[in-house]
């Protein structure tokens, strides 16, 4: 009975689906035709495909050519073309032409002109912002490049600001990003390959690598991973990351984002692969190791000592973020003897009137801090500072006075919260902040023993994970030949090797910086 | 330069050995030496090291002509299927005893010295689960982690020993021969197995990238560990004198309770995490070796899947004795004494058989 009902219901559903005309399949079917010789036929077909005139920005301009009055038409999507260029270099010369035998390529001023015979390809060009010229009695459509997608201008990097060094950042326009990279690498071996990754929206990903540096197996691996993707739409790199990464549930990120072209270029020159996409004001660097999240481009722009000084500060900040709160819980709960007596008395004195165990106290404050942080991010701009003041100052002060929290806890949590801002990479920042809670829990359960247990488990996990075949903590462990750019960096002239874990075709960099 | 998949370099291999044997100075091993050789325990240690150099070289010789085979496979090859399996099985049983007793000792250290109120089983479970997780990741990852933490553990150990030296009194080392030559030699002969892990390291010989790395790693760690253990044994005596150091079960942990660094009066919790890290790695490696050998003997190819089961057995066996300190120390003493002659004789026998079989003939051409 139920089966039958289900069958009926199912059949109905199927029928309903079939009766729908506008499916992806029908969309494909329409395209598998070739350009007709009659302009009217062509235009009718395209009117059907693009649903003109309901589709308001797809425009057709019909006119006659030369003395004989040969019928012609231009088809374009007005919102993504440069109308001035279209007018100057295409329409004007076409209208002014009096010679009947002249070929299109002799009339038009535009540098890029592609003759196309398949409807499928015409559509691809049109969607990319090209204009199509149809002529009566001609089986080809002439595609002229006059695309102009609106986007921001090049601005300063927002998340990876530096004091010393270039201040250009990627924008949402892939052509601009590409030119920013080409500006830095004037090498014909810098290859830019394009792959379409989505079925419906036809999003395009550019794969950049330097041919005689990058490991070809890795390039092939990444290409095949992109090509085997089956999705409807991938808007930008942040989403693409989640499609191509290996461990989707892992806390640790496996690809690196940077909005700085100089950083992308330095990775390219080491043999990494860079992905670019429209609508992403950043690029994706593959493969990435733990150290690349920890580094900042400024480490290398600053002189040796200064760069390493900021690295020390950062690694200290990282450990403070991870451990201070947990150590406070562990020490006050299990290892009180390790605190010098005076400090111990001070802590005991402030904690005297607080009704909660240390673990709970820390947890309240850590959650409060995360709340303020998240709220501060989402709050409209003019109200931002207010939230900060109310949240951090008044709330903290009042909590202490109300004997909910002891003042030392405020210091501990503020320290760990503040330090977390020293880790600039968003993904690593999140990972560290989440792991911190793990340490607090383990500290409350087993004190230092629990923390060490979690730490070593984390280490085991981190050495075992790989980003596109590269161990996460390479080149430190397992050891590889490299310039040793991990926690510290060397003097620039000593950085003579490319990272061995990338298996670059050319391991040694030419020249050690000394004069010839 | 090229890192082959699943193999480790000399750094990782040496780091494992360092942590494996280096941690012995921090458990109750010194006590066994002190009880026999009194304040001359360090001379016994030197003797052990000198005595074992011959079997170690012989073992390396045998391994060098059977590259790509691990200890068990060589056993099978040299002794034949039946006796080879029996030899390996003996090693397995001794390994089992070592793991069970060592883990109880370490849990006892954590329980009595740091977490007096925490139930033993909880400490045991955490220790074994973390180690099992590490073992599951495989030997190359154990090596990676060992190499990552190697410097920090060694630096903290050196710092601790330095402050011990500052507090210690060098006169307590005299009379230099302690109970006399006889006592020293006897102790050394009975406790040869302190360096037994070098023998077991033969099991992972195929995992090291090149045999050259393996040999160099062995010699390097052998040399440095000899120095490290000897110096530590001297320093403990200098700090406590032989009468009390004999009674102390865990001299290292008493030491870090004793010393002060500047205004910090109780520094043991500073050293504790580093010691724990070494401990976790040590047991990860032990568990890995155990299942490796077990898989070898019983022809279980996917031996990693045995780890959870084996771990549960270890925990159950480990918490079985009710007074671990007394039971374990007796049993441990016995195992050490059984293992000692075996570790001395076995490599020699292996070498002789290999010689008779003519394995070394092609050596010059290799």
Give yes or no for residue B2 having a pLDDT over 50: no
Cβ distance of B145 and A448 shorter than 8 Å: no
Tell me whether residues B270 and A460 touch, CB distance under 8 A. no
- What is the nearest CA distance from B82 to chain A, expressed in angstroms? 37
> In terms of residue numbers, what domain contains B34?
10-352
Q: Tokens standing for A198?
A: 């989505």
* Residues of A in Cβ contact (< 8 Å) with B148: 459, 463, 473, 476-477
Residues A473, B11: C-beta atoms closer than 8 Å? no
Instruction: Tell me which chain A residue has its CA closest to the CA of residue B126.
Output: A453
Q: Residue A502 in contact with residue B2, Cβ under 8 Å?
A: no
CATH at B145: 1.20.1740.10
If you ran DSSP here, which 8-state letter would residue A217 be given?
A: H
Question: Does B284 fall in a domain?
Answer: yes
The answer to whether residue B230 is domain-embedded is yes
Structure tokens at B366: 């290799």
- Please name the member of A453, A455, A478 whose beta carbon is closest to the beta carbon of B3: A478
Task: Return the pLDDT at A51.
Answer: 85
Residue B70 falls within a domain, yes or no?
A: yes
Q: Is residue B361 part of a domain?
A: no
Residues B255, B236: contact at Cβ < 8 Å? yes
The per-residue pLDDT for A12 is: 52
Average pLDDT value for residue range B164-189 = 82
Contact A453 B122 (CB under 8 A): no
CA distances from A29 to A349, A404, A449 (A): 79, 69, 65
Residue B4 has pLDDT above 60, yes or no: no
Alpha-carbon distance values, A230 to A14, A195, B183 (Å): 23, 13, 76
Rounded alpha-carbon distances, angstroms, from residue A433 to A257, A374, A416, A457, B281: 19, 12, 9, 17, 26
The pLDDT score that the predictor gives to residue A11 is: 54
Q: Are β-strands A141-145 and A113-116 bridged in parallel, bridged antiparallel, or unpaired? A: antiparallel
ipTM: 0.92
**Is the CB of residue B343 less than 8 Å from the CB of residue B55?**
yes
pLDDT score, position A283: 93
pLDDT of B325 strictly over 80: no
Laid out side by side, the sheet with A256-258 consists of A190-196, A204-210, A273-277, A283-286, A256-258
Q: How far is A299 from chain B (nearest CA, A)?
A: 23
Model pLDDT, residue B365: 41
Question: CB distance A456–B280 less than 8 Å?
Answer: yes
Which residues, including other chains, have CB under 8 Å from residue B278's CB and lie 6 or more apart? Answer: B19, B22, B23, B26, B149, B153
Scanning A352-494, the segments in alpha helix (DSSP H) are 358-378, 384-388, 396-401, 407-420, 426-464
| Torsion sign, CA atoms B35, B36, B38, B42 | negative
Token digits for B322? 């009710």
The pLDDT of residue B252 is above 60:
yes
Contacts of A493 (CB under 8 A, 6+ apart): A512, A513, A514
Q: Which chain A residues touch B132 with a CB distance below 8 Å?
A: none
Read off the DSSP letter of residue B264. Answer: B
Place of tokens 């990272």: A499
Structural domain boundaries in chain A? 20-145, 174-288, 300-471
Asked whether the beta carbons of residue A340 and residue B3 sit closer than 8 angstroms, the reply is no
Give dist(CA B187, CA B336) in Å, integer: 11
Sign of CA dihedral B112, B114, B118, B122: negative
A interface test, pick of B8, B109, B256, B269 with most A CB neighbours within 10 Å? B269
| Domain count of the fold of chain B | 1
pLDDT tens readout for residues A255-288: 999 999 999 999 999 889 999 998 889 999 988 9
B280 in a structural domain: yes
pLDDT at A21: 62
Please tell me the distance from the alpha carbon of residue B236 to that of residue B41, in angstroms, as a whole number: 10
Instruction: Report chain A residues touching chain B, CB-CB < 8 A.
Output: 331, 334-335, 337-338, 340-341, 446-453, 455-457, 459-461, 463-464, 471, 473, 476-481, 500-501, 503, 507
Q: Is residue B87 a part of any domain in this protein?
A: yes
CA dihedral A373, A378, A382, A383 (to 10 degrees): -60
Residue B365 lies in a domain: no
Distance, CA of B355 to CA of B344 (rounded, Å): 17
Interval B160-164 mean pLDDT: 89
pLDDT in tens, chain A (516 residues): 566 665 655 555 554 454 456 677 777 776 777 888 888 888 888 888 888 888 888 888 888 887 777 888 999 998 888 888 888 888 888 888 877 777 787 888 878 888 888 888 888 888 888 899 888 888 888 898 888 888 888 889 888 888 898 999 999 988 899 999 999 999 888 999 999 888 888 888 999 999 888 888 899 999 998 988 888 889 889 999 999 888 889 999 989 999 999 999 999 998 899 999 988 899 999 889 999 999 988 889 999 999 999 999 999 999 999 999 999 999 988 888 888 888 888 888 888 888 888 999 999 989 988 888 888 788 887 777 777 777 777 888 888 888 888 888 888 998 998 899 888 888 999 999 999 999 999 999 999 999 999 999 999 999 999 888 888 988 887 888 888 888 888 888 888 888 888 888 888 876 655 555
Minimal Cβ distance to A456: which of B110, B272, B277: B277
Q: How far apart are CA A428 and CA A420, in angstroms?
A: 10
Cβ-contact B64, B359 below 8 angstroms:
no
CA distances for A356 relative to A58, A132, B102, angstroms: 67, 73, 39
**What one-character DSSP code corresponds to residue A87?**
I
| φ and ψ at residue B301, rounded to 5 degrees | -75, -40
Which residues of chain A neighbour B149 with C-beta distances below 8 Å? Answer: 459
Phi-psi domain of A380 (left: phi exceeds 0; alpha: psi -120 through 50; beta: other): beta
**Does B296 map to a domain?**
yes
Residue A475's pLDDT is 85
A27-36, A264-273, B259-268, B321-330: segment of lowest average pLDDT: B321-330
Q: What are phi and psi of A176, to 5 degrees?
A: -65, -45
Mutation test of the interface with chain A: which of B11, B126, B137, B146, choosing the one with the most A Cβ atoms within 10 A?
A: B126
Residue A273 phi/psi, 5-degree rounding, is -115, 140
Mutual orientation of helices B71-109 and B324-357 as an angle, nearest 10°? 170
Measured CA to CA, the distance from residue A103 to residue B342 in angstroms comes to 95
A500 contacts B280? CB cut-off 8 A: no
Which chain B positions have a beta carbon within 8 Å of A439's beta carbon?
none
pLDDT of B119 over the 60 cut: yes
Q: Which of A460, A472, A497 to mutate to test the interface with B (most CBs of B within 10 A)?
A: A460
Put simply, whether B264 touches A (Cβ < 8 Å) is yes
Q: Is the peptide bond before A464 cis (omega within 30 degrees of 0)?
A: no
């Amino acid at each position: 009975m139920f089966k039958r009902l289900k069958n009926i219901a199912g059949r109905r559903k199927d029928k309903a689906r079939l009766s729908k005309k506008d499916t992806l399949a029908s969309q494909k079917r329409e395209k598998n035709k070739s350009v007709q010789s009659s302009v009217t036929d062509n235009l009718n077909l395209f009117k059907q495909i693009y649903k003109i005139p309901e589709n308001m920005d797809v425009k057709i301009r019909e006119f006659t050519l030369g003395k004989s009055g040969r019928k012609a038409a231009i088809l374009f999507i007005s919102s993504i073309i440069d109308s001035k260029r279209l007018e100057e270099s295409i329409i004007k010369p076409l209208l002014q032409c009096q010679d009947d035998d002249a070929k299109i390529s002799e009339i038009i001023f535009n540098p890029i002109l592609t003759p196309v015979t398949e409807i499928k390809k015409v559509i691809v060009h049109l969607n990319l912002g090209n204009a199509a010229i149809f002529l009566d009695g001609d089986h080809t459509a002439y595609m002229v490049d006059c695309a102009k997608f609106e986007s921001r201008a090049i601005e300063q990097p927002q998340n990876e600001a530096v004091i010393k060094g270039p201040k250009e950042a990627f924008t949402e326009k892939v052509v601009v990003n590409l030119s920013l990279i080409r500006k830095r690498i004037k090498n014909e071996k810098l290859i830019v390959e394009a792959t379409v990754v989505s079925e419906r929206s036809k999003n395009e990903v550019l794969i950049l690598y330097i041919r005689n540096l990058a490991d070809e197996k890795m390039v092939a691996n990444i290409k095949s991973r992109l090509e085997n993707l089956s999705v409807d739409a991938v808007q930008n790199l942040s989403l693409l990351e989640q499609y191509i990464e290996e461990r989707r549930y892992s806390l640790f990120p496996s690809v690196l984002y940077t909005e700085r072209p100089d950083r992308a270029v330095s990775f390219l020159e080491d043999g990494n692969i860079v992905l670019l996409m429209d609508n992403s004001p950043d690029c994706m660097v593959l493969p990435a190791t733990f150290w690349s999240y920890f580094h900042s481009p400024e480490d290398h722009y600053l002189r040796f000592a200064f760069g390493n000084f900021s690295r020390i500060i950062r690694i200290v900040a990282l450990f403070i973020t991870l451990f201070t709160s947990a150590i406070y819980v562990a020490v006050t709960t299990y290892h009180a003897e390790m605190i010098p007596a005076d400090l111990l008395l001070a802590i005991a004195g402030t904690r005297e009137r607080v009704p909660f165990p240390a673990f709970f106290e820390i947890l309240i404050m850590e959650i409060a801090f995360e709340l303020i942080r998240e709220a501060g991010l989402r709050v409209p701009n003019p109200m931002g500072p207010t939230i900060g003041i109310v949240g951090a100052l008044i709330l903290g002060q009042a909590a202490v006075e109300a004997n909910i929290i002891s003042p030392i806890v405020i210091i501990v949590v503020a320290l760990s919260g503040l330090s977390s801002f020293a880790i600039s990479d968003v993904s690593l920042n999140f990972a560290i902040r989440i792991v911190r809670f793990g340490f607090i829990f383990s500290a409350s359960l087993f004190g230092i023993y629990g923390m060490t247990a979690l730490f070593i488990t984390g280490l085991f996990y981190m050495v075992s994970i790989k980003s596109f075949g590269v161990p996460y903590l390479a080149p430190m462990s397992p050891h590889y030949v490299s310039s040793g750019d991990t926690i510290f960096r060397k003097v620039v002239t000593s950085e003579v090797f490319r990272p061995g874990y990338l298996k670059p075709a050319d391991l040694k960099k030419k020249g050690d910086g000394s004069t010839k | 330069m090229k890192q082959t998949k699943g193999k480790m370099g000399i750094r990782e291999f040496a780091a494992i050995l360092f942590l494996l044997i280096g941690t012995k100075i921090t458990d109750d091993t010194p006590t066994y030496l002190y009880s026999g050789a009194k304040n001359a325990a360090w001379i016994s240690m030197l003797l052990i090291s000198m005595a074992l150099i011959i079997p170690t070289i012989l073992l390396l010789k045998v391994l060098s002509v059977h590259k790509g085979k691990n200890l068990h496979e060589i056993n099978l090859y040299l002794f034949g299927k039946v006796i080879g399996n029996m030899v390996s099985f003996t090693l397995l049983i001794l390994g089992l005893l070592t793991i069970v007793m060592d883990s109880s000792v370490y849990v006892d250290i954590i329980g009595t010295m740091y977490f007096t109120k925490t139930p033993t089983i909880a400490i045991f479970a955490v220790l074994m689960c973390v180690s099992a997780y590490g073992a599951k990741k495989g030997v190359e990852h154990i090596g990676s982690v060992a190499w990552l933490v190697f410097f920090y553990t060694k630096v903290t150990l050196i710092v601790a020993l330095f402050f011990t030296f500052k507090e210690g009194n060098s006169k307590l080392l005299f009379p230099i021969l302690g109970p006399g030559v006889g006592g020293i030699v006897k102790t050394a002969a009975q406790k040869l197995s302190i360096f037994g892990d070098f023998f077991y390291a033969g099991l992972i010989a195929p995992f090291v990238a090149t045999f050259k790395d393996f040999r160099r790693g062995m010699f390097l760690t052998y040399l440095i560990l000899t120095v490290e253990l000897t110096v530590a044994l001297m320093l403990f005596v200098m700090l406590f004198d032989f009468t009390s150091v004999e009674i102390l079960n865990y001299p290292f942990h008493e030491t870090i309770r004793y010393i002060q660094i500047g205004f910090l009066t109780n520094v043991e919790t500073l050293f504790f995490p580093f010691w724990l890290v070494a401990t976790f790695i040590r047991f990860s490696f032990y568990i890995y070796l155990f299942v490796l050998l077990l898989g070898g003997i019983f022809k279980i190819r996917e031996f990693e899947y045995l780890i959870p089961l084996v771990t549960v057995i270890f925990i159950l066996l480990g918490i079985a004795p009710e007074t671990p300190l007394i039971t374990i120390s007796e049993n441990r003493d016995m195992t050490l004494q059984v293992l000692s002659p075996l570790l001395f004789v076995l490599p020699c026998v292996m070498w002789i058989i290999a010689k008779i079989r003519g394995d070394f003939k092609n050596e010059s051409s290799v």
